[in-house]
Amino acid sequence: MKKPVPPLFLLFILFITLLVDSIVADPRYHRVELRCKTTLEHNTTIFVPNYIATMDILANKIRTSGFGVANVGTGPDGVYGLSQCYGDLSSLDCTLCYSQARILSPKCYPYNGGSTYLDGCFLRYENYSFFQEFTGPGDKSVCGNTSRKGPEFKNSASKAVLDAAAAAPEKGGYSKSVVRVTGSKNESVYVLANCWRTLNITSCRACLDKASASMMGCLPLSEGRALYTGCFMRYSDTNFLNEEQSSGQSTASKVAIVAGILSSVAALIIGVAIGVHIRKQRRIQKKRRGTNDVVKMAKMLHDSSLNFKYSTLEKATGSFDDSNKLGQGGFGTVYKGVLPDGREVAVKRLFFNNRHRAADFYNEVNMISTLEHKNLVRLLGCSCSGPESLLVYEILPNTSLDRFLFDPSRGKALNWERRYEIIKGTAEGLVYLHENPNVRIIHRDIKASNILLDSKLRAKIADFGLARSFQEDKSHISTAIAGTLGYMAPEYLAHGQLTEKADVYSFGVLLLEIVTGMQNNRNQTSEYSDSLVAAAWKHFQLGTVENLLDPNLMLHSYNHNNSIEEILWVVHVGFLCIQEEPSLRPSMSKALQMLLKKEEPLSAPTNPPFMDVRTMEFSDTCKEQYHLLSTSSIATVSHSSFNPR
């Protein structure tokens, strides 16, 4: 087999990039509107689990059929949900759109109902069965902030809107129409109309009639949307409609096939084939954006050893086979993969595709991959331009700390000496992230499941830097870092105020967990005052912390007193890190120093957040923060953890 010479190889990558970009449809998960009810949920303890369960059922149904209704629970805190993707979305795009809706929807909490309108899908939940409703008080149109058009556009657009609205009820609720603007060579109007599948033809028609009439009020603006109780409509002068037959899966295999064929053909023929394809693809591409970006990116990818081909990673993981799944993290699902050279890696398939800003994403990956420290998981590279964004990490044989810590039998593998090493290692890793001269990184999601263990059970911090790269997209952030309930610093939760001290707080919680083998707020539905932090604080003040220690620490009699002393010291440092007031918490390097130098006396910690010191009860202002805590627990897509197979 002949290896293509460098310029051809560059073209080859460019070709693949263009091909992938133009086949994969626009997932259209831009938020249009979030509409929340104004009545509060009744009882958090009942409502939250019902809500989460409903969203999970919808997720499964959406994946298989692009539509779903669900109901969990009865009475005032029962939850009814409906979600639907519009007719032109592929199943992959639909899943992405639903994920996005699911992240936005909890922002309505603690109100007991909300509708999320995105450009590609819809999600609504209520405490009653609303499935037959097709009009409601919030119904309205939203006009695009775009250019004004002439009378010809207005006429053609009206026709297209009426056509689509008339056709949809008979066609299963979905239709699109494209009408050429009269007197124009190249301009058209694109319209989509979609009713929820729970409506019968009469209701669907009634909804679309109202929606189309209202949306035409936007004319002659170039863009308008109708957000109705039972339907969604949109018109635009740009083509936002997807080709219905395309899907992520077929794209992936197309790329694989193309790659396979091309690499086995002689270099000259490749050159010709590429030339032809590029010209063709470029014409398609130019409409959407300049080719500059693509060329730049192709060059970067070509130059870099960080780049993995999508097809390589797809093959390495057996097409992301479930049997290779290691776990689910805040940012995506993790698979075990074996590269062609035999190297084992962990491949993280991100929930969100960064295709639209692949160059930026690549730069982030490049930056993160320069961070090297014995207590950080190595990022080996990415597939930044394929149909999905993938990250490649070193794989760690002993999974994550939580799998040991909170398991009574596996916990025995971690005696106190090992745990102390893990604590020190984690602290060193955090110091490196916080004080790195080139780029300062706040992890934001320090928790036991993000501390991975190598073959000698040494700590390696996972998932750092990612939150930073998602920063541009605020909505993604809320998924990704909506860290786990119980680990998040109060000032970050309540006000989004983010400094290194947020990591210090999480580290403090982690110390308590490591020492007790108990999970803070394990029971997400229980009151905050039942938390490990509260219990440990009570014991700390009474001088009875020993009662809480994990039996798996296996304290040996010969050094029992020394170990106990060391453990109490660590707990003390933990409480200094958990203090409510961020400025009182030590920096990570100070905390590390405290852990190492056990002779210098420690100051007395002030109380952890949310607790009235005298009564150990919630104070009133804290109720509000508790609601925020609960919200973040809903927003968490799942616990980040590596499951053993």
Ligand X SMILES: *[C@@H]1O[C@H](CO)[C@@H](O)[C@H](O)[C@H]1NC(C)=O
Residues with a known catalytic role? 445
Cβ-in-10-Å burial (0-12, 13-18, 19+) of 166 comes to: middle
Which residues lie closer than 8 Å to 476 by C-beta, 6 or more apart?
103, 352, 470
Q: Which of 561, 603, 619, 643 binds ligand X (CB under 6 A)?
A: 561
- CA–chain centroid gap for 391, Å, is 14
Alpha helices in 43-83, H assignment, sequence order: 44-65
Q: Does 46 bind ligand X (CB under 6 A)?
A: yes
Binding segment for ligand X (CB under 6 A), chosen from 37-45, 168-176, 458-466, 573-581, is: 37-45
DSSP state of 170: G
Distance, in Å, from the CA atom of 31 to the CA atom of 600, rounded to the nearest integer, reads: 54
CB of 414 to ligand X, least distance (A): 8
Closest CA to 569 of 534, 535, 593: 593
Closest listed residue to residue 461, CA positions, set 574, 372, 532, 570: 372
- Sole binder of ligand X in the list 186, 245, 292, 305 (CB under 6 A): 186
Interaction with ligand X in 311-340: which residues (CB under 6 A)?
none
**Is 45 among the residues that bind ligand X (CB under 6 A)?**
yes
526 binds ligand X (CB under 6 A): yes
147 touching ligand X, by CB under 6 A: no
* Interface with ligand X (CB under 6 A), residue from 182, 263, 523, 643: 523
Out of 33, 56, 187, 394, the only residue in the binding site for ligand X (CB under 6 A) is 187
Q: If binding is defined by CB under 6 A, does position 455 make contact with ligand X? A: yes
Query: Which residue's CB is nearer to ligand X, number 207 or number 637?
Result: 207
Q: Is 203 in the site for ligand X (CB under 6 A)?
A: yes
Residues 6+ apart with CB under 8 A from 472: 357, 360
Q: Is 544 in the site for ligand X (CB under 6 A)?
A: no
Between β-strands 344-350 and 390-394, what pairing exists: parallel, antiparallel or unpaired?
Answer: antiparallel
* In contact, 470 and 477? CB cutoff 8 Å: yes
**Rounded to whole angstroms, how far apart are CA atoms 532 and 536?**
6
Q: Is residue 643 a contact point for ligand X (CB under 6 A)?
A: no
CB of 582 to ligand X, least distance (A): 30
Binding to ligand X by residue 415, rule CB under 6 A? no
| CB 365 to ligand X: min, Å | 27
Quick one: which segment of 59-67, 200-208, 261-269, 511-519 binds ligand X (CB under 6 A)? Answer: 200-208
When the beta carbons of 182 and 202 are compared against ligand X, the nearer one is 202
If one counts every other C-beta atom within 10 angstroms of the C-beta of residue 607, the result is: 16
Near ligand X by CB under 6 A: residue from 73, 76, 144, 318: 76
Residue list 117-136, contact with ligand X (CB under 6 A): 127-128, 132
* Binding status of residue 38 toward ligand X by CB under 6 A: no
Asked whether position 150 contacts ligand X by CB under 6 A, the answer is no
Cβ atoms of 216 and 209 closer than 8 Å: no
CA distance 597 to 499: 25
Nearest approach in angstroms of CB 128 to ligand X is 4
- 479 within 8 A of 500, measured Cβ to Cβ: no
User: Is residue 634 within 8 Å of residue 114, measured between CB atoms?
Assistant: no
Q: Give the pairing of strands 325-328 and 451-453.
A: unpaired
Binding residues vs ligand X (CB under 6 A): 39, 42-43, 45-46, 75-76, 112, 127-128, 132, 145, 186-187, 200, 202-203, 397-398, 413, 455, 523, 525-526, 561
